[in-house]
Amino acid sequence: RETPKSDAKAPKPQRRTVKLTHPDRLYWPDEGITKEGLADFYADVWRLMAPYVVGRPLALLRCPSGIKGERFFQKHAWKGLNPNIVTVPDPADPSEEPWVSINDLDGMMGLVQSAALEVHPWGSTVADWERPDIIILDLDPGEDVPWQAVIDAAQEVRQRLVDAGLNPFVKTSGGKGLHVVAPLKPSSEWPEIKAFTKSLAEAMAADSPDRFVATITKSKRHGKILVDYLRNQRGQTAVAPYSTRARPGAAVSTPITWEELEPGIGPAYFTVSNLPARLAAMRADPWADFRAAAVPLGKGKKRRGKGT
């Protein structure tokens, strides 16, 4: 796949051809967003979203009757799978039900048809299940944490990742927090990736115990930010860039630039309704350099600094 040049024009919506049944079904009833409206949204963002969802095992939050109905988090293929969705058996667990994956916009339309209102990919691809090409630190503010403190936390994660030789990017979660994400050249396997993110989160909690926690002790989280590193283990997922959230407001987990990270943009600021206008007005993909910025864990700046 081509990495968009930083002077690339806003991507053109791609034509969608997969036929939807019940296109008028309301997925976000209060916002008036239908199945067809969601399909149009994904056609709009597809060129930006594709690198983060194509060719990966996917977990899906499915809401067949929309966000107010029953929901289930689905990690495996199901009977009657939409033909545009593919199945990928886990090489480490071939007797288990396969995961689902998509290869193109038609696959994304299959997910829309299947009421997958949130798309949660692995941090590795089916070409290399054991070696992630993405690291993610998920910042989960407890109650009463001011938004500026979450921004400060993201900047601190950014600095620590830069110090480790990585090139971090940031996106809104579409929920309550921020996700700091760094591209990797697949090299280290899951246990090493997890250990790295664990030590990063624990160092933040040790250095600022009044601001951060690294483990999920809800009672201790009040007023603090959980630096959730547990997305970085085999079989775990995080919501994809440009995925919608099955929550009121139809927010979207949205890649932004570090310059955009200021109090005016909250975690659910970008939505199915306002994101197309942002993309149309945008001069460049805020994550244009994402893949080009990939380095293997442990082989970045620090090592170059030693003259290797």
Q: Does 175 bind ligand ATP (CB under 6 A)?
A: yes
Q: Does 302 bind ligand ATP (CB under 6 A)?
A: no
Residue of minimal Cβ distance to ligand ATP = 175
What tokens does 16 get?
A: 């969608």
Closer of 61 and 85 to ligand ATP (Cβ): 61
Among 43, 112, 116, 238, binds ligand ATP (CB under 6 A): 238
Q: With the C-alpha atoms ordered 17, 1, 77, 271, is the resulting torsion angle positive or negative?
A: negative
Among 35, 176, 194, 221, binds ligand ATP (CB under 6 A): 176
Cα–Cα nearest to 43, from 100, 109, 103: 109
What tokens does 53 get?
A: 């969802």
Helices (H), the chain: 35-53, 105-113, 147-163, 190-207, 218-221, 275-281, 301-305
Q: Does 123 bind ligand ATP (CB under 6 A)?
A: no
Q: Does 267 bind ligand ATP (CB under 6 A)?
A: yes
Among 50, 227, 239, 251, binds ligand ATP (CB under 6 A): 239
Please check whether residue 182 is in contact with residue 168, taking contact to mean a CB–CB distance below 8 angstroms.
yes
Closer of 84 and 243 to ligand ATP (Cβ): 243
Q: Does 133 bind ligand ATP (CB under 6 A)?
A: no
Task: Fill in the amino acid letter for 17.
Answer: T
CB 238 → ligand ATP: shortest distance, Å? 4
Q: How far is CA 80 from CA 56, 90, 293, 297, 307, in A?
A: 21, 20, 39, 40, 56
> Contact positions toward ligand ATP, by CB under 6 A?
59, 61, 73, 120, 138, 140, 173, 175-177, 228, 237-239, 267
